[in-house]
Every structure is written in structure tokens, then in C-alpha cells.
Structure 1
Amino acid sequence: MAHNVFTVQFADGKQLFGIKEGIGGQVYRQLFETFDAAWECPRGSLPEFVEPSNALATQEAVVYGPGESWDFDTRASRCALWLTGPRDSDECESERPLDFGIYGAEELQEVRQVTPDGSAAVELECPLCRAVEVHSASTWPFINTDGVFVHSADVTYGVTCRACRRDFVFTPLAE
């Protein structure tokens, strides 16, 4: 049975390694610190890897197969040693459908969250990958001229998740 090692690379250059088994290329989510550790994992009958409880909360953007002609953006947790994002192009497409012009793509998901008056920052959970991040009102200087979030039914904020790099809409609600 084929046993290949793949690489994921974090923004700071740190690399972790994973296993791709079989002719069909089953990609396992468990990651290893070294190429050798991934290579030495038993072939054919791999153990059932269980997702660590902190994997999603600690995920970061990574490149799968850096330097290859087929590399793609995904997510992984370095401390949980777990590939949390898409493992192949099919999973990438199911997460973020392509916009084919007049045929359209799905509408952006919206997060409606109570935000205290005068808030300069808000903690948002991405509706797509569940990563939690702090977003500052100063990111939108043309809307938030005073450096705080505006409470209005007409005001929404386009947000890009730092973990999965996908877009969603945030609407702050008054308390």
C-alpha cells in the first residue's frame, strides 16, 4: 500500500508532516513534528486518530504541499498536531464554493452579536470554521470614524477570518 508523507507550512515557516495512505490517497488529519515520525507510522492499518479537543480553537492558516504545483491553503493546529481544514480540492470547494458569475455563489454567512456601546473591539466566532478572534473597530476607519463600532440596522462589516481566510458579515447589535 502506498504510504506518502505530506507537508503543511505555517506563516512563520514552521512545518509539520502528515500521512497520505493508499492508492486513493486517504489523508489523515494527525500531524507529526518530523518527516521521519510520519514515515515510520505503521503502514496499512493506521490507528484511529482522535481529534484533540483544542484543535479548532488553536488552528492557524497553513499551506498544504508548499512549493508544489498543487499546493493550497488550509488550516492546522500546531499544538494539537492536527489538520483542521480541507485535505483536498474537493473539501476546499465544499467549504468555499466558487463564484461562477451569473450562477453566483452562496451568500455570505452573517454573525449578529450584541456589542456594548463604545466598543473598540469585539470577539467574533467565524461561522465557517469556528475560530474565535478579536476584531478591532479601527479596521473599518471609514465606518467607525470614532474608533468604536456603530450600532445601526444599516451598518454591517465585512470580515475575513484570519484562520480560514473566508469572508462573513458581522452586524453589531445594541445591548
Structure 2
Amino acid sequence: MSKTVGAVTFSDGSSLYLVFDEMLNAALRPLFPTENAARDWMQSGAKTQPEPKEAILSEETVTLMIDLTLESDPKLAAAARFASRASRKAMWLTGPRSFLEMAYENGATASREF
């Protein structure tokens, strides 16, 4: 199973880090204070965690980057970002975990191109 380290960036420019599962084509919901902490969690087996109760109450709009290694190429980086929501207080991704989830949340359907 292939996983990468990505990040969510808040409107103030601060970031938290996450694990993106390329097999599922979706970000996993736990967030981490550093890239290394996300990588350590990923390498330890990425244990399932319950959603923190306060996560939705403190969510903010973020930009999600699925793979930090793509940042050096502007074209790839642009294609690897999408809008989502996250709680920095709860360290949890609360919004869409993939571009497809984001598109569906914004009204796209399987029968309509987006």
C-alpha cells in the first residue's frame, strides 16, 4: 500500500500534516504537527482513530496538498491541491478527503463532468 505525506494549510499560512493513502485515493483524517510525526505514524501502521467530538465545532477552511514531494513542480502541485476543512484544535481533517469528495460536496454528480 502506497502512502505519502501531505499537508493542510490554514488561511493564516500555518500547516498541519497528514497521510494520503494512494490506494484509497483519499487523505486519512488524523493531523500531525510535523511532517516527521505524520511519517512516523504512517510507518507504525497508521492505527484507526475515532473522530474527536469537538472536531466539527472548530473546523476551518484549508487547502489540502496530497503529496509534499510535488511542491517543487508548479503544474503537479496545482493538480495535487483541493479545498477542504480541518480542525487545528482537534488535529483532524473534517472536510473532503479527496478531490472527488470535494467535487461531490460542491454539487457534482457521477453523471455530470466536473
Calculate the TM-score normalised by the size of structure 2: 0.76
What do the CA deviations read for 1:10-58 (whole angstroms, capped 9, x no partner)? 0001100001135343421000000000011143832111110100000
Contact 2:3 2:42 (C-alpha < 8 Å) held by counterparts: no
The structure with the largest strand share of the pair is 1
Q: Take 1:3 and 1:89, find their aligned partners in 2: how far apart are those partners?
A: 16
Q: Which residue of 1 aligns with 2:10?
A: 10
- For residues 61 and 50 of structure 2, the distance between their equivalents in structure 1, rounded to whole angstroms, comes to 21
More helix by share: 2
| 1:63-109 residue CA offsets vs partner (Å, 9 max, x unmatched) | 111962121111000010000000112111221114xxxx9xxxxxx
Identity percentage of aligned residues? 32
Task: Verify the 8 A CA contact 1:21 1:44 in the aligned structure 2.
Answer: no
Q: Superposition pairs for residues 37-76 of structure 1, below 5 Å?
A: 37-43=37-43, 45-65=45-65, 68-70=77-79, 71-76=81-86
Which gives a bigger RCO, structure 1 or 2 (Cα 8 Å, sep 6+)?
A: 2
Match of 2:102 in 1: 92
Instruction: Spell out structure 1 runs of 4+ moving beyond 3 A.
Output: 22-26, 42-45
**Unaligned regions of 5+ residues in structure 1, if any?**
104-175
Answer with 1 or 2: which has the greater Rg.
1
